[in-house]
Each structure stands twice: as structure tokens, then as C-alpha cells.
Amino acid sequence: MTSELGHYETYIFDLDGCLYTGNEPYPGSIALISYLADMNKKIIFLSNNSTETSDEVLANMSDMGFPVVGMQAMVATDLTGKYLLEKYGKVTVSVCGSESLEASLKGFGHRVVRLDDHSTSEFIVLGRDVHFNYEKLRRTVNQVQRGAKLVLTNSDVYHPGALGERVPETGALLASVLSMLDSPSVIAIGKPEPYPFQKALELSGTSRDACLMVGDNIYTDIKGGSNAGIDTLWISYHRSRPRASPVPTYKVSTIDGFFRKLRNQI
Amino acid sequence: MTSELGHYETYIFDLDGCLYTGNEPYPGSIALISYLADMNKKIIFLSNNSTETSDEVLANMSDMGFPVVGMQAMVATDLTGKYLLEKYGKVTVSVCGSESLEASLKGFGHRVVRLDDHSTSEFIVLGRDVHFNYEKLRRTVNQVQRGAKLVLTNSDVYHPGALGERVPETGALLASVLSMLDSPSVIAIGKPEPYPFQKALELSGTSRDACLMVGDNIYTDIKGGSNAGIDTLWISYHRSRPRASPVPTYKVSTIDGFFRKLRNQI
């Protein structure tokens, strides 16, 4: 491994849209992860997934064929409860999101109460919620109007689905909520915010110079990594970089291209 | 009726938030409408309501005690189908909105198909939809990505509900949809767009100088009326005019205040 891409000690990977889409690994991604593991590199998965817990994500990856034993995943679902605990202690929250998000918040010791008109929550946590609806929008907005703090797991507006479809993400649900508020203040957790990168760095046990962030999303992975002072590798999947967007340290077209470049094959 | 507010031939009224809230008439509003009718003034109700038809709105008003016989309501629900018919002829639409909105579109001769993954609609009509949810958001966005034109009944983000609650309106649902689109183009129908005012003027049979628009919403009633060259009366309900907002011709605090001013009692 003499490539300049091979000198890092820790490789932080985005997941959905980077290593796989849905439950389909991209060509070369399993081989890449195996190769880095064989080289004794530290591997951390850092995802804005807000519907599944870190353990659920690792189990899915294992089912897809990734060698995840001994690897760590940090996903927005769990980072949210962790952040609230570190910053505010154990709090009372209502959740507009998945059952896994609720379970994760409870796991960090928070008190989870129903998102109804009578709850007196200190925080409303908004994650990707496939059961989001008009009524939840109304309740979320009016709870915030009454003083609850709005917490956003991640700000992505959509992720790519089958046949190039756009699958709504937390940020799209947030847009409705924000449109109804006068001077909204939102506590955002996921990439590109500093918190996930700070936690990943702590977990790596290495200096930031020794870490590389690998991702396909220029506004979360590359911007966040760059803000955190970490080198970044953008998997462009043949997209061109949007104007005025952050500049990645490296760019390759596919995850397989990264693998081949790492082995000096291209 | 010697007041300067009494010289108009046609009085165009906003409804919810102006004459009543929910099903509760504001003090003085029934007496005002009766008084203007006795003076042989033309009365037109112009509302951004996108969940009920004009007939349903008039029936509700009658139940509340308003003397609506011979009066006309033009609401966004019906204006949408009318606009599409006048501009594009009979078209194929999918609806993200109420059953009344669907029925109204059918009434104008449009073909209404289900908002599903297989429909090939030319237009998606978005109205206030109390059954709006994650799945409808996904389908709406991906239909627009495949070429359907997005039609918005009205752009209000909320209307006031009981105890000062914010009740989500069409514009709040639109915010989610727009957040997921790259270069969205939206055909908007309701106030402050010109179409409702143009139709109200036609219906009045009077010149624009002889019309007064009365409403509580500075951004729809007052801005729209002002753009249409009609004098406007803002019922402020003790709010102050937001900075950089349009300037109404007249301002009173309550609908009862308008009634008293009209009769030179204040």
C-alpha cells in the first residue's frame, strides 16, 4: 500500500449512497473494506441514517456480506441521544421518527413521552419518519411554539432510492415545520455538524491528520470532514461538484475506483 | 352611509381569520354583512380555503348565521379547476388534497387519477390535505421529477386555530416538496396571485375603483388586492404591520371597528 491514499490510519466511511444503496453493495466496496481491514486500518462507519440504530446498521451490512466484525458504526439515530445526554443530561423528549430512534433515546436514559397535545416535552426529536403526517406536523409546530426545543437528527432532504427515485429524508420533513415557525432555532446533530466528526475522532484514537473521510455527499461528508480538519475523499459517482461547494482533498468516480487507486492500479 | 368606506359598490371579503375563526363569527361580522346587503352593495367572499368547495363554504356560513342568500363565494378549491380549464383545457390530474378538491376538479371536467407510482398525470394539485403523509410527499416529488407540473391551490403556511394554535396550510406541505426539488416551478392559484382578484372583478361587474378588498392577511389579501389595483382594508386584529409589507389603503383593528367606522360611529 504505497499510494498516498494508503497512508491514513483511520478510514471513516459514509454508508448509504457511498458503499451501498438500499441493500445492494456497490461493486468493489466489500473488497475495499476487507482490504483495509487486512492492512490493520481502523474503520469507522459514520452515517446520517436516523431510522436504524448503529447495531441494526451493522447487522444489515453483515447480511450484505461486509466483514464488520470489530468495526464501529456511529449513526445519527444513536448520536442524537448521546448528544442530548452529554449536553443536557437526561431529558424529556417527544419523537417524530422511527421506533428505533425512540428506543435509542430511551437507551441513553431519556424519558420519551408521546407527541400529543398534552405532553410537556423539553425537546422534540425529528428524524426520518415514514409515518410522518399532517397531524404530526401540527403537533410538532405547536409544541415548539409552546417552548419545546427542536432537535434534528440530520439535515439531508432526500437520499437516492431505486431507479433514481428521491426518498424523503429528515430535512424534507423539517422544511414543513420551519415554514410554520417565525424564528426557528434547531439543534442539528448529524453530518455536516461537528459532533459526529468529533465522536469519530475520539473513537479512532488517532490524530485528525491520520484520518480520511470517504463519502458521496458533498454537503454532509465532504463539508463536515473539511470543517473538522480531516482530509476528504469524494466518491462522485460521475456527478460534477456543484459550484461554491467545498473542495474535497481527493476525488474518484466510484468506490471501486478508490480501491484500485489505493492499490496503485490506476 | 356617508363614510369614505361606504362609497364602494363591491366589497370583497376574506373569510377565515377575517369574518370568523373556525365556526365562530367575530363580533359585528354578521351585522356588517347584513348592513352592506341592506345598502344593496355587491358582496363577494374570496377565500384561500382549499379543503371545501364554494358551496360548502356558503352552507357553513349560513349555519353560522350569515345572510348569504344571493352572495357569491370564490374559494381556492374551485378556482384551481377553473384556472386549469381556462388555461390548459381538460387535463389529467392527481390530487394531494381533500375529497372536495377532487370532486371540484372532476366538476370542471378534469380527469382525476390516483397519486400512485404508476399514474401519468400532467398535473399534481396540492391543497391543504389533513391526510398528507410521508408516502404522498415521496410520490408527489417523484411525479414532478418525471415531468408532472405542480399546482398549488394557495401558498398560506398556516391559519389560526383554537387557542392561537397554528393549523398547517398548503404552503407548509409545499415546503417539504420544494426542499426535495432542484429547480422547482409551481403554478400558484390563490391570493395573492392575480387570478382570484381577476375573477372577483369579473363577477362584480364593477370597475376596480369601485371595489374594496377586506382581509386580515397582509401577504395574501392586502398584497394581492393592492397588486390588482384594488383599494384594501386591513383588519389588523391588533397586530402591527410587518416591516417591508404592502401598505393597506385603510386599517382598522377589528371587523366590528370596520362596521362602526362605516356608520361614522368612530
For B84, B90, B145, the CA distances from B121, given in Å and listed in that order, are 13, 12, 12
Question: Residue B53 domain-assigned?
Answer: no
Mutate to test the interface with A, among B118, B136, B142 (most CBs of A within 10 A): B142
Please report, for the domain that includes residue A104, its CATH number: 3.40.50.1000
Same structural domain, A86 and A166: yes
Residue A72 lies in a domain: no
User: Is residue A64 in some structural domain?
Assistant: no
Domain count, chain A: 2
- Residue A150 forms contact with B (CB below 8 Å): no
Any domain includes B96: yes
Whether A172 sits inside 8 A of B137 (CB atoms) is yes
CB-CB neighbours of B168 under 10 Å: 28
Question: By residue range, what is the domain housing residue B223?
Answer: 4-48+191-262
Q: How far is A251 from chain B (nearest CA, A)?
A: 23
Q: How confident is the model at residue A2 (pLDDT cuts 50, 70, 90)?
A: low
Same domain for B87 and B27, yes or no, is: no
Structural domain ending residue among the three candidates B155, B188, B221? B188
Give A166's contacts in chain B (Cβ within 8 Å). 138, 141-142, 145, 180
Q: Indicate whether A55 belongs to any domain.
A: no
Q: Tell me, yes or no, if B186 comes closer than 8 A to chain A by beta carbon.
A: no
* Nearest-by-Cβ selection for A179 from B141, B142, B157: B157
pLDDT digits (tens, 9 = 90+) for A103-119: 999 999 999 999 988 88
Cβ contact A133–B134 (<8 Å) = yes
Dihedral Cα A157, A159, A162, A163, nearest 10 deg: 70
- Same domain for A137 and A231, yes or no, is no
* Residue B183 grid cell: 429547480
Residue A266 confidence class, pLDDT cut points 50, 70, 90:
low
Would you state the pLDDT for residue A119?
A: 81
Between B160 and B246, name the one with better pLDDT.
Answer: B246
* pLDDT at residue B8 is higher than 60: yes
ipTM of the complex: 0.92
B83, B166: one domain = yes
- Write A201-209 long-range contacts (CB < 8 A, 24+): A201/A228, A201/A230, A203/A44, A203/A72, A203/A74, A204/A9, A204/A10, A204/A12, A204/A42, A204/A44, A205/A42, A206/A9, A206/A10, A206/A42
Domain end marker among B188, B212, B234: B188
CA distance B46 to chain A (A): 23
In a domain, B84, yes or no: yes
Residues A22 and A85 in one domain: no
| Band of pLDDT at residue B91, cut at 50, 70 and 90 | very high
CA B158 to chain A, closest CA, distance in angstroms equals: 6
Does residue A171 fall inside a structural domain? yes
Tell me if B134 and A173 make a contact (CB, 8 A cut-off): yes
Do residue B128 and residue B109 come from a single domain?
yes
Distance from CA of B96 to the nearest CA of A (A): 12
Tell me the average pLDDT across B52-75. Answer: 96
On whether both B184 and B197 belong to a single domain, the answer is: no
pLDDT tens across B184-230, in order? Answer: 889 999 999 999 999 999 999 999 999 999 999 999 999 999 999 99
CB contact under 8 A, A176 and B178: no
Do the beta carbons of residue B85 and residue B112 sit within 8 Å? no
A159 falls within a domain: yes
Pair (A116, A155) in one structural domain: yes
Contacts of B69 (CB under 8 A, 6+ apart): none
Local confidence band at B1 (pLDDT 50, 70, 90 cut-offs): low
Query: What one-character-per-residue DSSP string does chain A give?
Result: --SGGG--SEEEE--BTTTEETTEEPTTHHHHHHHHHHTT-EEEEEE---SS-HHHHHHHHHHHT---TT-EEEEHHHHHHHHHHHHH-S-EEEEES-HHHHHHHHHTTPEE---STT---SEEEE---TT-BHHHHHHHHHHHHTTPEEEES----EEE-GGGPEEE-HHHHHHHHHHT-SS--EEE-STTSHHHHHHHHHHHTS-GGGEEEEES-IIIIIHHHHHTT-EEEEE-TTPPPPTTPPPPSEEESSHHHHHHHHTT--
Residues B94 and B166 in one domain: yes
Per-residue pLDDT band at A169 (split at 50, 70, 90): very high
Final residue in a domain of this structure, among A165, A188, A211 = A188
Which of B133, B141, B172 is nearest residue A166 as measured by Cβ atoms?
Answer: B141
Q: Are residues A82 and A175 in the same domain?
A: yes
Task: Tell whether B167 lies on the interface with A, counting CB pairs under 8 A.
Answer: yes
CB A158 within 8 A of CB B180: yes
Same domain, B118 and B173: yes
Closest Cβ opposite residue A168 in set B134, B145, B178:
B134
Q: What is the pLDDT of chain A when averaged over all its residues?
A: 95
Nearest residue of B to residue A117, measured between CA atoms: B165
Question: Within this chain, do residues B161 and B182 fall inside the same structural domain, yes or no?
Answer: yes
Q: What is the pLDDT of residues B12-56, one digit of tens each?
A: 999 999 999 988 999 999 999 999 999 999 999 999 999 999 999
